[in-house]
Structure 1
Amino acid sequence: MGAPRTEPAFHSIEAHAFALRAILSNDPPRWRLLALARSLDLPDCWIGAGFVRNAVWDHLHGRPPAAPPGDVDVAWFDPGRAHPSEDKALEAALRGLEPGVDWSVKNQARMHRRNGDAPYASAVDAMRHWPETATAVAVRRTAQDSCEIAAPFGLDDLFRLVLRPTPGFAGERHGAFLARVQAKGWLAAWPKLRMKPR
C-alpha cells in the first residue's frame, strides 16, 4: 500500500459548500426564509449566524431539520440607509411575510459603532468581527434558485464541529467569547462540539 493520498485544499472547501447548499435546500422552512429575505431586494444581503450554524450542527448530529433559531439574522450593507429605523421597517415587512419568525435585520454599515470597530466595508467584512468562526457564515438565495455562501474564515470549523474565536475575540475579548459559549449552552445542545484554543 502506498502513502495516503492528500486531497487538495480546495476539495474540502468545495465539498463543504456543496454539503451546506444541500442541507439548506432540503430544509423547506429555511429555504423559504431565504427567498423572503431576497424579496426585499437589499444590497449585500445575507442570512447568517445561527440560521446556518445550527442547521449544520443538527445535520452533523444526525438530527432532522429543526425550526430556525429564535431569531433569524439578516445582515445587509448600505451606508446611505444606516439609520436603525430602516432596519425596524424591514423587520416589520418580513414579519408581514412570515409572522412566526423573530426577524433581526441589521445594516452592517452602522454596526461598527456598536462594536467599537473601524467602519466595515461590506456585510462580509462585518462578519470578520463576529465572535466565532462557525458563526461567521452566511448565505443568500440567488435569482437562479441557488445558494451563495459567504464565509470569511472558511467552512472547516463549522463542518468539523469546532468552536473557535475569530481573531477579534482571541485576545482581550476572549473572555466575551467564552462567556457567550457558556450562555448559549452549545456544548450541551451539540455534544460533539469541540472547543479550540485561540
Structure 2
Amino acid sequence: MRLLQTENDLISLIAADDWMMNVLEAVEKVHLPDCWVCAGFIRSKVWDYIYEKEDRTPVADIDVIYYDSSNLTEEKEKHYEQELLKICKDEPWSVKNQARMHVINGSNPYHSSLDGISHFPEIATAIGIKLTNGRLQVAAPYGIHQLSAGIIEPTPFFLENKERYVIYRQRITSKQWHLRWPKLEINLQ
C-alpha cells in the first residue's frame, strides 16, 4: 500500500494527472461561486493510488458543487452542466448548489460549499478540490487520513441520525467499493 499523508501529497497526485487537471480547468472556466470538484472524483483516484491500481477506476459522475443562495433552482444547476459539457463534452457532469441541498438532506441550511461537503455520507467522500489561477486547493473538513488509509465510515451528520445512517449503509452495499479495492476498511458501527 502506497502512502499519501498530507494535503500537499494529494495535491501533487492530482496535479500529475492530466485528465483530472483538464476537469479542474474546465470547472474553473465556468466561474461558479464557492465551487469545488468533490467526492468520487478524488476518492477513486486516491484509492487507485494507495492500492496500486494500474488502470483508472471510472467515475459514474463528476460531482461539482457550488454555493449560491441567490438562485436555488435546479434549472440553474442544469445550465451549469450544459456549460461544462460545452468545454468537456464527454464527461458525466453533476452540478449541485449546496445552498439548496439541505432540503434534500433534511437538515438546516448550509452556509457554504465546505459546510455542504461536511454533510456528505462518508468521511472519505467528504473532500473537494479546486483550481484557482493555477493553484490547487483542498477542502477536507475531516482531514484526509481516512481517505488515504482506505477507511470508510460515516460523517457525524450521517452517524447522528438513524435514517441517514441507513442511507450510509445502503451506499456501502450499492457502491460495492470492496470489490474494486478489497483492502478497504469498512466501518458499519
TM-score by length of 1: 0.89
Q: Does 1:189 align with 2:180?
A: yes
SS at match of 1:78: coil
- The aligned counterpart of 2:136 is 147
- Equivalent residue in structure 2 for 1:165, among 151, 154, 178: 154
Deviates more, 1:59-68 or 1:150-159: 59-68
- The aligned counterpart of 1:111 is 101
Q: Does 1:82 align with 2:63?
A: no
- The aligned counterpart of 2:63 is 73
- Per-residue CA deviations over 1:34-82 (Å, capped at 9, x if unaligned) read 0110111111000000000000000011123626512000000010121
The separation in 2 between residues aligned to 1:104 and 1:21, in whole angstroms, is: 22
SS at match of 2:44: helix
Contact 1:55 1:65 in 2 (8 A): no
Residue 197 of structure 1: how far off its partner (Å): 4.9
- The aligned counterpart of 2:170 is 179
The separation in 1 between residues aligned to 2:27 and 2:87, in whole angstroms, is: 10
The separation in 2 between residues aligned to 1:196 and 1:182, in whole angstroms, is: 12
Q: Partner letter of residue 112 of structure 1?
A: H
- The aligned counterpart of 2:44 is 54
The separation in 1 between residues aligned to 2:109 and 2:128, in whole angstroms, is: 20
Q: Does 1:31 align with 2:18?
A: no
Max Rg structure:
1
SS at match of 1:79: coil
Sequence identity (%): 34
Which runs of at least 4 in structure 1 moved beyond 4 Å after TM superposition? none
SS at match of 2:125: coil
Residue 146 of structure 1: how far off its partner (Å): 2.0
Which runs of no fewer than 5 residues in structure 2 stay unpaired?
none
TM-score by length of 2: 0.93
- Per-residue CA deviations over 1:121-164 (Å, capped at 9, x if unaligned) read 00000111110000000000120x12100011111100010001
The size of the alignment, in residue pairs, is: 185
Q: Partner letter of residue 176 of structure 1?
A: I
Cα distance 1:127–1:30, how it changes in 2: closer, same or farther (>3 A)?
same
